[in-house]
Structures are given as structure tokens and as C-alpha cells.
């Protein structure tokens, strides 16, 4: 069966160029980069090159990049690693629409004595900057908000958030897992102290991520041990995946402008096609400030899970929210926070595209989706069908 993969915010296909670049490090160049001998030591320069490629994509210095195993590890390292340096629990600010890899870290710290503010969002999924300003107090140690939302694609005004936080003299971390590779991200222009990215969202493999840490930002390692990553993250380096992440970042940087316009064209075609062929549909999230690849739509009076199952039977892969909370019958915390009515919240679907999607993928989805929605509405308990 043909697979139409429209779930790229969950994970992406490994780029063939990335696969190719990783292969020597799985087959012949498998030495330990920390070894004294030439066989191992020769590998180190490839890690250095990858660090430069990651740094270049986000406008950082290579020595500000720490390789980790994933976005979740980077988020944990940033938040716990910075706060570990403080003597007693203070105050953290985040938003209520973060990925669990931030929200549950903050809530865990809250259970251990930290005061926690979860900034609310409006109907477009945007935070109120005045609420941010007034939440910052002397006790605040850190602010952490995402750059772009994984479920709706909503982009936070991260430069303004960063300026507010930095003008109060506080530390700012951003979870940019969904932004890096899809949008221009430049830490030279936006004064973030730490930034999280994850390889498998930009066509590198699962199991590799990075944390940007601005020079001078104090950070206690989450994983203690050897001296790898300048003592900030112990463990023998995952050389093939680090090389793969470097190449993925290089590809994203070189093709970004073209990809942004092509992805938004296909996404808009999907959006317009759905709006014109299905009644009682709403687009969730700020349409003006949104990732070019993401569309979150609510189909009133039908269950999202039922739509996904029927799409799946046709080989169309989408999701109702983040992959790590799928299976839950409750609407996602992101959709609920935006105040979307119950009858629509239950029928929300995330479509997320990548450079490997084609016009045919969108046409095929648009041919099949309206029929699915019509069928489900005919048996919907929320509609009194004759």
C-alpha cells in the first residue's frame, strides 16, 4: 500500500545524504574518538565538523553545542542543569502548551519545592507578553518556552520573549525542536541562553539531539562521567548519528528558503482543500505565525481517533497531537488550553509535511478525507441524524 506520510512533527524520514554520510562510521570508522591511537582519534575531526554544521544552522559558535541523545534530554539538561547551580528552590516560568519534555520537568521540580508559573494562551495559542512580564519576580531563576508548538505549529514571538527575560536579568531556554530546520533560527539575533534541537525532526536519525549553551551560562551536567562534550555530557559519542545530524543541519541550512515556500504552498493547498470540501471545520492556532509545514484542524462532531484510523486504512499517516500522548482519548492539553469547544477539540488532527511530500500526497488526501468525515458524521452521536 502507498504510504502518504503527513506526520513529520512526530518524526521524519532520514535524508539519503544523511544515511550515506553515516555509513562509514558504522562500517569502518568505528573507533572511539577519545582514543590515543590514530584509528580511534581520526574520528574526532568528523565530530568537530558536525559541531560546526549544527552551530552554523543556528548562528552559534561550535563550542556552544553539546550533543545529547534527543530533544527530551536537551530540555532536561537545560532546565535541571541550570537550576542545579542554585542553592534553594526559586521560581520557574513556562507556558501551558509546552511539550511534556518541558512541562513535566517543570512540574516535577514544582513537586520538589519550585514555584511554577504556566503562562496561559489565547484562542490562537499565543501567550500574553504582559503576563510574562508581570510573572517575572526576584525569585525567578529561569524562563523556558518553546519556539514553535509541535501540535499547532504556532510560533511564539521568541525574540520579544527573550528580550523581556534578558532585560530582567534572567536565564532563558527555548525548546526549538520544531523550529530548527523549518525556520531561520539565529542565536546571534535572539538573545536565548540555551536552545534545544532534535535530529529526528530534521531528517537525521532518532537518538541524537543537541543543546546550545551560550558561552558563560552555568550548567551542571545531567549525565556525569567522562570528559566528553567538555565535561557537560558524559558518554562515548554516538559518532554516526552526530555526523548524520551535522549533514542534516547542513542540508536544512542550504535548502531552507526553497523548502519554506514549497512546504507552505502544499500545506495551504491542503488547508484550502479541507475548508472548501468539509463543512464545520476550523483551523487551530495562529495562522499568521505558524510553521510552514503544520496544519491542525478540528472536524466538529467527530472523533479524531476515528478519522486517524480510517486515514490509516488508506495509508495516510497523521496524528491527533504529539506522538508521545497518542492513544489518549482526551483532547490534547494544547487544544484544551486554547479554549476550543469540546465538540471540535475531540476531532482535531495534525497534518505535518516535509520536503519529501509531493503534490500527489496532498491530492490523494483531499480526495479521501471528505468522504471519511461524511461517513463518520452519519454515525456521530453528537449529531441527531434523521
Is 295 a binding residue for ligand C6P by CB under 6 A? The answer is no
Nearest distance from residue 60's CB to ligand C6P, in Å?
19
Contact 272, 264 (CB under 8 A): no
Is 76 a binding residue for ligand C6P by CB under 6 A? The answer is no
Binding to ligand C6P by CB under 6 A, coded x per residue (else -) over 182-211, reads ----------------x-x--------x--
Binding to ligand C6P by CB under 6 A, coded x per residue (else -) over 224-243, reads --------------------
Contact 95, 125 (CB under 8 A): no
Cell of 212: 546550545
Tell the residue number behind the cell numbers 558536525, with chain if given.
50
Would you please indicate which residues are annotated as catalytic (active-site) residues?
324
Is 70 a binding residue for ligand C6P by CB under 6 A? The answer is yes
Beta-strand relationship, 171-175 and 294-299 = unpaired
Nearest distance from residue 175's CB to ligand C6P, in Å?
5
Q: Taking the mean position of all CA atoms in its chain, how far away is CA 148?
A: 7
Nearest distance from residue 151's CB to ligand C6P, in Å?
7
Q: Which is nearer to ligand C6P, 101 or 263 (CB)?
A: 101
Cell of 198: 532534535
Cα–Cα distance measured from residue 178 to residue 345, given in angstroms and rounded to the nearest whole number: 22
Number of C-beta neighbours around residue 272 at 10 A? 11
Show contacts with ligand C6P in window 148-187 (CB under 6 A). Answer: 150, 175, 177-178
Q: Which of 4, 10, 162, 302 binds ligand C6P (CB under 6 A)?
A: 10
Show contacts with ligand C6P in window 121-150 (CB under 6 A). Answer: 146, 150
* Position of minimal CB gap to ligand C6P: 71
Q: Which of 22, 53, 95, 99 binds ligand C6P (CB under 6 A)?
A: 99
Contact 303, 334 (CB under 8 A): no
- Cβ burial of 196 (10 Å; 0-12, 13-18, 19+) is buried
Cα–Cα distance measured from residue 209 to residue 270, given in angstroms and rounded to the nearest whole number: 30
Helix (H) or strand (E) holding 171: strand 171-175
Is 101 a binding residue for ligand C6P by CB under 6 A? The answer is yes
Cell of 86: 542554585
Q: Which stretch binds ligand C6P (CB under 6 A): 65-73, 80-88, 278-286, 293-301?
A: 65-73
Cα–Cα distance measured from residue 386 to residue 382, given in angstroms and rounded to the nearest whole number: 13
Binding residues for ligand C6P, rule CB under 6 A, total 18
Cell of 12: 521524519
Q: Which of 25, 33, 43, 71 binds ligand C6P (CB under 6 A)?
A: 71
Q: Which residues bind ligand C6P (CB under 6 A)?
A: 9-10, 70-72, 99, 101, 146, 150, 175, 177-178, 198, 200, 209, 322-324
Amino acid at each position: 500500500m502507498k504510504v502518504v506520510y503527513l506526520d513529520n512533527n512526530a518524526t521524519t524520514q532520514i535524508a539519503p545524504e544523511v544515511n550515506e554520510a553515516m555509513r562509514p562510521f558504522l562500517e569502518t570508522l568505528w573507533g572511539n574518538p577519545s582514543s590515543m591511537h590514530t584509528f580511534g582519534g581520526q574520528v574526532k575531526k568528523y565530530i568537530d565538523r558536525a559541531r560546526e554544521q549544527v552551530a552554523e544552522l543556528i548562528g552559534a559558535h561550535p563550542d556552544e553545542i553539546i550533543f545529547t541523545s534527543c530533544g527530551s534530554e536537551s530540555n532536561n539538561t537545560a532546565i535541571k542543569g541550570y537550576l542545579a547551580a542554585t542553592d534553594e528552590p526559586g521560581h520557574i516560568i513556562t507556558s501551558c502548551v509546552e511539550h511534556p519534555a518541558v512541562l513535566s520537568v517543570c512540574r516535577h521540580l514544582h513537586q520538589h519545592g519550585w514555584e511554577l508559573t504556566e503562562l496561559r494562551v489565547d484562542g490562537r495559542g499565543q501567550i500574553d507578553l504582559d503576563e510574562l512580564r508581570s510573572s517575572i519576580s526576584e525569585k525567578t531563576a529561569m524562563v523556558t518556552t518553546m519556539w514553535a508548538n509541535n501540535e499547532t505549529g504556532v510560533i511564539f514571538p521568541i525574540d520579544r520573549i527573550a528580550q523581556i527575560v534578558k532585560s530582567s536579568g534572567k536565564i532563558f531556554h527555548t525548546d526549538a525542536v520544531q523550529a530548527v530546520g523549518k525556520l531561520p533560527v539565529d542565536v546571534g539575533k535572539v538573545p536565548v541562553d540555551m536552545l534545544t534541537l532534535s535530529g529526528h525532526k530534521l531528517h537525521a536519525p532518532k537518538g541524537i539531539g543537541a543543546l546550545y549553551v551560550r558561552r558563560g551560562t552555568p550548567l551542571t551536567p545531567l549525565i556525569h562521567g567522562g570528559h566528553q562534550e567538555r565535561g557537560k555530557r558524559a558518554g562515548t559519542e554516538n559518532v554516526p548519528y552526530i555526523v548524520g545530524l551535522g549533514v542534516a543541519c547542513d542540508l536544512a541550512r542550504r535548502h531552507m528558503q526553497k523548502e519554506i515556500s514549497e512546504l507552505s504552498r502544499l500545506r495551504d493547498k491542503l488547508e484550502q482543500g479541507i475548508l472548501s470540501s468539509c463543512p464545520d471545520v476550523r483551523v487551530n492556532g495562529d495562522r499568521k505565525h505558524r510553521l510552514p509545514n503544520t496544519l491542525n484542524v478540528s472536524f466538529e462532531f467527530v472523533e479524531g481517533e476515528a478519522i486517524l484510523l480510517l486515514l490509516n486504512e488508506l495509508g495516510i499517516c497523521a496524528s491527533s497531537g504529539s506522538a508521545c500522548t497518542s492513544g489518549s482519548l482526551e483532547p490534547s492539553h494544547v487544544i484544551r488550553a486554547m479554549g476550543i469547544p469540546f465538540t471540535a477539540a475531540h476531532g482535531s488532527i495534525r497534518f505535518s509535511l516535509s520536503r519529501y511530500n509531493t503534490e500527489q500526497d496532498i491530492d490523494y488526501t483531499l480526495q479521501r478525507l471528505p468522504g471519511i468525515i461524511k461517513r463518520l458524521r452519519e454515525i456521530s452521536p453528537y449529531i441527531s441524524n434523521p
